[in-house]
Amino acid sequence: ELKQEITRTLTADNPQAPQNIVRFSFKEREYKLVDYLDQTAIHFSLNGNLVPKDSDEGRRLSIKSSTEAEKAPVETPAETSEQAEIKDEEHTGDTEAAGEGEGEEEGAGEEGAEAAEAAEAAEAAEAEEAPPPKAPEKKLPNQFNFIERASTTPFNPLREKGCQTEPIPSLNFSDTVRQWDIYDAYMEELQRMEKAKEKEKAKPQVVKKEEEKRGARKLSYVEVQHVEPITRVAKAAKIAERMVNLNTFDDIAQDFKYFEDASDEFRAQNGTLLPLWNFQYEKTKKLAVTAISWNPKYKDLFGVGYGSYDFMKQGHGMVLLYTLKNPSFPEYIYNSPSGVMCLDFNSEHPHLIAVGFYDGNVAIYNLRKETSQPSYKSSAESGKHSGPVWQVKWQKDDMDNNSNFFSVSSDGRIVSWTLVKNELVHMDVIKLSVEGTMQGPEGLQLQTLGCGTSFDFHKKIEYLFLVGTEEGKIYKCSKNYSSQFLDVFEAHHMAVDTVSWNPFHLKVFISCSSDWTVKIWDHTIKTPMFVYDLSCAVGDVAWSPYSSTVFSAVTTDGKAHVFDLNINKHQALCTQVVVDGKKNKTTHIQFNPVFPIIIVGDERGLVTSLKLSPNLRKMPKEKKGQEVKKGPEVEIAKLEKLLSLVREPQGKA
């Protein structure tokens, strides 16, 4: 995209020219929008009286001035000729006088003749040397060879135009309002509101869902009356806010779209994580990030749950929804009296969010409703958990098209919650029981229940799911059997924080624990295929959506680790510090389903987005003359090849 040539055409249009000039058309007898606009933008204007010398008018003026100059010196040669004639006459008179006196005085005459000849020679020399006086040349008025002239411009006469419209018809009326009139009006309004609520309750759930799919949200007359003025400009204000943020964080947006770490070429296999936006809300600085989930429809929108993992510091919680388009402020804010432990978006209805709380309740928030309260919430009567709800997962709609989700809690119950009409209906799917019994008072034998901490449903086999417990075991369960487990894995020595199926391979799942390890399993084999010790408690692990062999994990020392089994089966390709491990801890990590970025949450309410360098998302190289195969089958074969290397020695043994 950087090398792409974009042609930009410069036009002579004035961007400041008005586009909505209306003038009255006498031909059509109505006001019409002016089609042609004057695009001239005058930056400097000066009225002058200069004419170019090369123009016709300049030549005429130059010829006129030259003729005037020729006429002026004609008188001087006439004067000189007259003076010469007078001198000649004087000269002849002198010579005649000298001739008459020759006879009388010969000696004196010879001397006079010599003097006269000398005088004539001097006068002739003076006449030859004195040139005729020439007229002085007229200097040009300026250095640009322009000739001065005067000019006038046509004067546009001003015209006044006016129009007259008919006045709007009006009517005066009056009435007297008494107290009982006001009371009756209020009572009618209350009755109308009650009827509207009854109609909403009377609608079956199926009809409501059909309306939601069509997008036909019918607002009652009462809602229209009480619309606040701020909601009318809310959409425009949100767009303006995003534009301002895009300008503010333009350098980060450029890195997100175009930057690729060129130094990866010299690192062989290792990669890096480029920090992008930070998402933080003022009221969540004292809360920990307890859950992160991307919206399945809007790839830039993600939900963040806030609460506390400390038993002694329990308080309120929050659910915030951020978008990559506006990192400065959340799109949606929901407060809760108890800490939020988990959340999940519904894949079929992306506006529904299931949330689990520390006090054992579950709730559903509807993004389409403007209220900050949950649309559905469990209670002690409707079968809430007796311990913190550690994870919730949406499932496909049941046979009656009712939405349903599952939850796991420390009380050992896996519960299915179904939205039937306007209430949550619960059903216990399975109870986690620990082998053996515990002796109670008076010799009673009490069965101890396991504490579920995480679970995940199979991507293809709907009834199959895995449950991780505080004891470190992973149970493979089925929705069809509520009394027994399909299999038990002795996975970890401490609580299983996360368990997740591979999005491509049907047999593989991954687990992480506070015992510092991340393990990759084949659910048909009791022993792990790969084990990684990260030297610190692992808070979360996640598979990548683009490769079956890439996964990432976060540890409590503030680091993020990215692995690719296809490149290196023994070590992480990237281990990078995200937050200061002495004062803060990372808690959760998630891959974006489309863009090459991950988001990491910590204990101080901060969510950091990071971009994966090219080495961390390597695709198979193209060979000459061969097309690179892509798709789920290729990813499954890639992971299966790695697993076969681990399985073969066991089979031979």
Residue spans per domain, the chain = 248-619+629-647
Residue that wins the pLDDT comparison between 201 and 229: 201
Sort 250 into a burial class: Cβ within 10 Å, 0-12 / 13-18 / 19+: exposed
C-alpha radius of gyration, the chain, whole number: 50
**Which residue, among 369, 358, 470, 354, has the nearest Cα to 417 in the 3D structure?**
354
Q: Which of 78-82, 122-126, 602-606 has the highest mean pLDDT?
A: 602-606
* pLDDT at res. 650: 47
In words, the CATH class of domain 248-619+629-647 is: mainly beta
Mean pLDDT for all residues in the chain = 78
Q: What is the pLDDT, as a whole number, of residue 401?
A: 79
- Asked whether the predicted pLDDT for residue 85 surpasses 50, the reply is yes
- The predicted model gives 163-185 an average pLDDT of 88
Distances (CA, A) of 17 to 10, 21, 22, 33: 16, 10, 14, 14
Q: What is the pLDDT of residue 398?
A: 76
Distance CA 82, CA 76 (A): 10
pLDDT at residue 93 greater than cutoff 80 = no
pLDDT at 332: 87
The model's pLDDT over 318-331, given as tens digits with 9 standing for 90+, comes to 899 999 888 888 88
Q: How far apart are CA 539 and CA 285, in angstroms?
A: 19
The answer to whether the beta carbons of residues 523 and 509 sit under 8 Å apart is: yes
More confident residue, 30 or 621: 30
Cα separation, 211 vs 203, whole angstroms: 11
Percent of the chain exceeding pLDDT 90 equals: 7
Nearest to 547 by CA among 528, 566, 519: 566
- Taking the alpha carbons at both ends of the chain, their separation in whole angstroms is 54
Q: Which of 57-71, 126-140, 337-351 has the lowest mean pLDDT?
A: 126-140
Checking if the pLDDT of 355 tops 60, the result is yes
| The model's pTM | 0.60
Q: Greater confidence, 597 or 229? A: 597
Q: How confident is the model at residue 108 (pLDDT cuts 50, 70, 90)?
A: very low
DSSP string across 219-259: PPHHHHHT--HHHHSHHHHHHHHHHHHHHHTHHHHHHHHH-
The whole-number pLDDT of residue 103 equals 46
The answer to whether residues 601 and 249 touch, using CB atoms and an 8 Å cutoff, is: no
pLDDT band at 541 (very low <50, low <70, confident <90, very high): very high
- Alpha-carbon distances, residue 13 vs 23, 33, 39, 382 (angstroms): 21, 18, 5, 69
Q: How confident is the model at residue 634 (pLDDT cuts 50, 70, 90)?
A: confident
Q: Give the whole-angstrom CA distance, residue 385 versus residue 458.
A: 24
Tell whether the model's pLDDT for residue 499 goes beyond 50: yes
Q: What is the pLDDT of residues 176-215, one digit of tens each?
A: 888 998 999 999 999 999 998 888 887 666 555 555 555 5
Range 471-494 average pLDDT: 81
Q: Quickly count: other Cβ atoms within 10 Å of residue 605's Cβ.
A: 21
pLDDT at 73: 56
- Label residue 607 exposed, middle or buried (CB < 10 Å: 0-12, 13-18, 19+): buried
**pLDDT score of 437:** 45
Place of tokens 């048909």: 524
Beta strands (DSSP E) in 256-328 are 273-279, 288-294, 301-307, 317-323
CA distance 455 to 587: 17
Residue 162 scores a pLDDT above 70: yes
Q: Residue 292: which pLDDT band, with cuts at 50, 70 and 90?
A: very high
